Amino acid sequence: MTTKKALITGLTGQDGSYLAELLIAKGYQVFGLVRRSSTSNLERITHLYGDIQIVSGDLLDQSSLMDVVSECQPDEIYNLASQSYVPLSWTQPALTAEYTALGVSRLLESIRRCKPDARFYQASSSEVFGQPDESPQTERTAFRPRNPYGVAKAYAHWMTVNYRQKYNLYNCCGITYTHESPRRGTEFVFRKITHAVAQIKLGLTNELKLGNLDARRDWCYAKDAVYAMWLMLQQEQPDDYLIASGETYSVKELVECAFDCVGLNWQDYVSVDPAFYRADEPVQLVGCIEKIKMGIGWQPQYSFNQLVELMVDYDLKKLSS
């Protein structure tokens, strides 16, 4: 049997690093696209050195993408690279569109010209729904993005679908809801909380400032999400799926659960600061996972409580070492 080859963009990110681990374990030859940086940003993948081949390229640069796709000749391509932080998309809207929207056009053109039989996964986001008409959302819910990131992701989504229809490419979009892990940045609320709880437990700080405690999210574990991405590309026919837990929890429930893990009362440490409120708070984003569950047999393996626990444990160990 020949070894399958996969190219991952966004290798240095949360999902890229977990997906690389999964594909290596499955015997793939893994190429990871990394853009040049003056300082190392390979922290999430150092443990994979020797098992992955890093290739240089940038979603802003068409020729680098063409070179990478034609040289690697991947069987599967996972586009996880993007400017992925919603608040930044308001301060850098044009750059967000360049990476997150036009970057996908450049990649699709590279695939069409250099490896049209490659299977392609595009990381869509629940932010495309923005202010949805219905809750839970399904694959048929209308896109009504409410921030530049969501708009860019909607463009990328429809370009991926259009290239499937027009050129008969094997293209899939996974509309992922928020997914977390110990490799998530502390600017995201889930990791911000687990990290702060560990700091408080270790006496490194004594306060945690948060925004809207009633905001609800559909959270799942990044390892579960990347397994869904891989599974989507193993199907006979390409299709688009929601990747979600199908449940929501409030920030307050997350806080309670995280403080419970270390035996402390959250009310002694947490304060609300309106500066952390999101101006474009999405309305009840929660995914209906019937299609992916019934169609390809995926569902999350980790519960919300297990996820909180494993992240608090990780942060405690990391800060104590």
As a whole number of angstroms, the distance between CA 111 and CA 73 comes to 9
Q: Report if residue 178 touches ligand NAP, rule: CB under 6 A.
A: yes
* Closer of 115 and 183 to ligand NAP (Cβ): 183
With beta carbons less than 8 A apart as the criterion, state whether 44 and 66 touch: no
**Residue range at the interface with ligand NAP (CB under 6 A); choices 58-66, 256-264, 282-290, 309-317:** 58-66
The dihedral of CA 289, 290, 295, 301: what is its sign?
positive
List the one residue from 89, 96, 147, 176 that touches ligand NAP (CB under 6 A): 176
CB of 59 to ligand NAP, least distance (A): 4
- List, as one string, the DSSP characters of 260-320: HHTT--GGGTEEE-GGG--TT--S---B--HHHHHHH----SS-HHHHHHHHHHHHHHHHH
Q: Report if residue 35 touches ligand NAP, rule: CB under 6 A.
A: yes
- The helix or strand, by DSSP H or E, that contains position 250, with its residue range, turns out to be strand 249-250
As a whole number of angstroms, the distance between CA 109 and CA 168 comes to 13
As a whole number of angstroms, the distance between CA 41 and CA 26 comes to 25
* Closer of 103 and 300 to ligand NAP (Cβ): 103
As a whole number of angstroms, the distance between CA 122 and CA 161 comes to 10
Q: Quick check: is 281 catalytic?
A: no
Helices 222-232 + 14-25 axis angle, to 10: 60
* Closer of 240 and 266 to ligand NAP (Cβ): 240
Q: Report if residue 240 touches ligand NAP, rule: CB under 6 A.
A: no
CB of 310 to ligand NAP, least distance (A): 16
Q: Quick check: is 134 catalytic?
A: no
Q: Report if residue 84 touches ligand NAP, rule: CB under 6 A.
A: yes
As a whole number of angstroms, the distance between CA 196 and CA 264 comes to 12
- For residues 114 to 153, the per-residue mask of contacts with ligand NAP, x marking binding by CB under 6 A and - elsewhere, is ---------x-x----------------------------
List the one residue from 81, 196, 232, 307 that touches ligand NAP (CB under 6 A): 81
CB of 142 to ligand NAP, least distance (A): 18
CB of 287 to ligand NAP, least distance (A): 11
Q: Report if residue 160 touches ligand NAP, rule: CB under 6 A.
A: no
CB of 13 to ligand NAP, least distance (A): 2
- List, as one string, the DSSP characters of 172-232: EEEEE--EE-TTS-TTSHHHHHHHHHHHHHTTS-S-EEES-TT-EE--EEHHHHHHHHHHH
CB of 200 to ligand NAP, least distance (A): 24
**Residue range at the interface with ligand NAP (CB under 6 A); choices 14-22, 109-117, 291-299, 304-312:** 14-22
Q: How many residues bind ligand NAP (CB under 6 A)?
A: 27
List the one residue from 26, 41, 87, 278 that touches ligand NAP (CB under 6 A): 41
With beta carbons less than 8 A apart as the criterion, state whether 95 and 56 touch: no
As a whole number of angstroms, the distance between CA 79 and CA 198 comes to 33
Point out which residues bind ligand NAP (CB under 6 A). 9-16, 33, 35, 37, 41, 58-60, 80-84, 99, 103, 123, 125, 176, 178-179
Q: Catalytic positions, please?
A: 125, 127, 149
